[in-house]
Amino acid sequence: MIYLDYAATTPMSEKAINIYSQVATNYYGNSSSLHDMGLVSQTILEESRKTIADFLNGEAKGVYFTSGGSESNYFAIHSLLKGNNKKGKHIISTKLEHSSIANTLADLQNDGYEITFVPVNTEGRIDLDALAKAIRPDTVLATIHHGNSEIGTIQDLVSIGAILKKHDIIFHSDCVQTFGKIEIDVNRANLDSISVSSHKIYGPKGVGACYINPTRTWKPVIPGTTHENGFRPGTVNVPGIAAFITAAEEIFPIMNSEQKRFQGLREKLVHGLQGDSWKVSQIGPTSNRLEHIIGLSIAGIEGQYIMLECNRYGVAISTGSACSVGMQKPSKTLLAIGKSTEEAKQFIRLSLGKLTTDAEIENTINIFQSFLKKHCNDL
Ligand SMILES: Cc1ncc(COP(=O)(O)O)c(C=O)c1O
């Protein structure tokens, strides 16, 4: 199978698998135990914390390990709101957030929080003037993702952070799609909190991290929690974390060159998919984007049909966020950038990764060409 769904998840790297196996076999002590076996695990854990902090230009004491991006988002928002419940109950966000944020916000509305969703333009980029206007004296937190999982738009976190800082608003960003792909600097962007996930960068599933600016106060979501300084309960997954760090160490040095390589593969793919009897359009920005996330639509043909045809001929693609699979709803990103329901249903996403080759792109083009020609001839 040609796998072009790396934004949904990635295969674990060999190095990460080896490290997982070594740590799980040899250093399996509970990182909270006081004996030497526990101490070794704790040392691995603290070194891992430092490595993640370095990648983010943050401090080790701000890193909390979790089960992934979804849990990081939930715990970050709730912990920060609990620790800052005097300022007010107004939150700013966008309609483009991952379901783990959208669902958290929907639940907070039931608890009396008011949410303002700042509009985005046709490229999916947040309107900075609208953001400034949305701020109220009772705005306590803003949660705005970094990179869009469907069309690859990168938000300007530095400009957003500067606006929010002026009003001392807590700034959380879901960085699951950008960690290990482009630079994240929590200090430069005045970020108070971010979420990252291991399985998007060739680490194990079920591992992630949250960074919280150590100068911000927060309170445990689950009272009495002792692990991860009270942030998240449960015995810490040290082998998974060590494998996550290994994967991060592999990807960070090559992330810029990979984005350049993806740009070339993307151009080749989009050009090659065009045909005389159909029109392929790129959805999303033309610059400041994640080059490996390619949002497309083929006029008049449902994305679901294309995805199934691709699957039949051995190419794995997606019709949008993997978390929406099985739900035949139009992509919410497409609706937020002003597409009609019909256009949103035509959406497909191809996402490239470190194992994607020129040959795979050429084969994908040939497969698309052959089933699209057949489809158009049958009409
Ligand atoms: C933007 C974004 N946030 C959060 C998540 C959830 O991460 P995890 O699968 O680690 O819970 C995803 C996964 O698709 C995502 O794309």
> What Rg value do the Cα atoms of the chain yield, rounded?
21
Q: Give the end of a domain, one of 252, 270, 296.
A: 252
Tokens of 74: 């939930």
Q: Give the end of a domain, one of 221, 252, 283.
A: 252
3-class secondary structure, 27: coil
Ligand 1: atom nearest CA of 73 is 4
Please indicate, yes or no, whether residues 135 and 72 belong to a single structural domain of this protein: yes
Ligand 1 centre to CA of 75 (Å) is 14
Please indicate, yes or no, whether residues 218 and 170 belong to a single structural domain of this protein: yes
Which residue type does 257 have?
Answer: S
Best of 151, 177, 232 for a ligand 1 pocket test (most atoms within 8 Å of beta carbon)? 177
The pTM assigned to this predicted structure is 0.96
Ligand 1: atom nearest CA of 206 is 10
Please indicate, yes or no, whether residues 342 and 230 belong to a single structural domain of this protein: no
Structural domain containing residue 236: 14-252
Please indicate, yes or no, whether residues 36 and 154 belong to a single structural domain of this protein: yes
Best of 176, 244, 333 for a ligand 1 pocket test (most atoms within 8 Å of beta carbon)? 176
* Mean pLDDT score, 134-159: 98
Please indicate, yes or no, whether residues 162 and 280 belong to a single structural domain of this protein: no
Q: Is the pLDDT of residue 317 over 50?
A: yes
Would you tell me how many other CB atoms lie within 10 Å of the CB of residue 179?
28
Show the 3-state SS of the chain. Answer: CEECECCCCCCCCHHHHHHHHHHHHHCCCCCCCCCHHHHHHHHHHHHHHHHHHHHHCCCHHHEEEECCHHHHHHHHHHHHHHHCCCCCCEEEECCCCCHHHHHHHHHHHHCCCEEEECCECCCCCECHHHHHHHCCCCEEEEECCCECCCCCEECCHHHHHHHHHHCCCEEEEECCCCCCCCCCCCCCCCCCEEEEECCCCCCCCCCEEEEECCCCCCCCCCCCCCHHHHCCCCCCCHHHHHHHHHHHHHHHHHHHHHHHHHHHHHHHHHHHHCCCCCCEEEECCCCCECCCEEEEEECCCCHHHHHHHHHHCCEECECCCHHHCCCCCCCHHHHHCCCCHHHHHCEEEEECCCCCCHHHHHHHHHHHHHHHHHHHHHC
Q: What is the pLDDT of residue 320?
A: 65
CATH number at residue 171: 3.40.640.10
| 183-208 residue pLDDT tens | 999 999 999 999 999 999 999 999 99
Please indicate, yes or no, whether residues 106 and 55 belong to a single structural domain of this protein: yes
310 is catalytic: no
Calculated CA dihedral for residues 97, 101, 102, 107, nearest 10 degrees: -160
Of 175, 310, 323, 376, the catalytic one is: 323
The band of 379, judged by pLDDT with boundaries at 50, 70 and 90, is confident
* Mean pLDDT score, 16-23: 98
Ligand 1: atom nearest CA of 145 is 1
* Mean pLDDT score, 319-336: 69
| 281-307 residue pLDDT tens | 999 999 999 999 999 999 999 999 999
Q: Which amino acid residue places its CA nearest to atom 8 of ligand 1?
A: 69
Q: Give the end of a domain, one of 207, 230, 252.
A: 252
Q: What is the pLDDT of residue 271?
A: 97
Ligand 1, pocket residues at CB < 6 Å? 68-70, 98, 100, 145, 149, 174, 176-177, 197, 199, 208, 322-323
Q: What is the pLDDT of residue 281?
A: 95
| 151-174 residue pLDDT tens | 999 999 999 999 999 999 999 999
Greatest Cα-to-Cα distance within the chain, rounded to the nearest angstrom: 72
Ligand 1 centre to CA of 70 (Å) is 6
| 56-67 residue pLDDT tens | 999 999 999 999
What is the percent of the chain where pLDDT is above 90?
A: 94
Please indicate, yes or no, whether residues 195 and 300 belong to a single structural domain of this protein: no
How many structural domains comprise the chain?
A: 2
Please indicate, yes or no, whether residues 21 and 141 belong to a single structural domain of this protein: yes
Residue that has been written with the tokens 């639509």 in this structure = 297
Q: Is the pLDDT of residue 322 over 80?
A: no
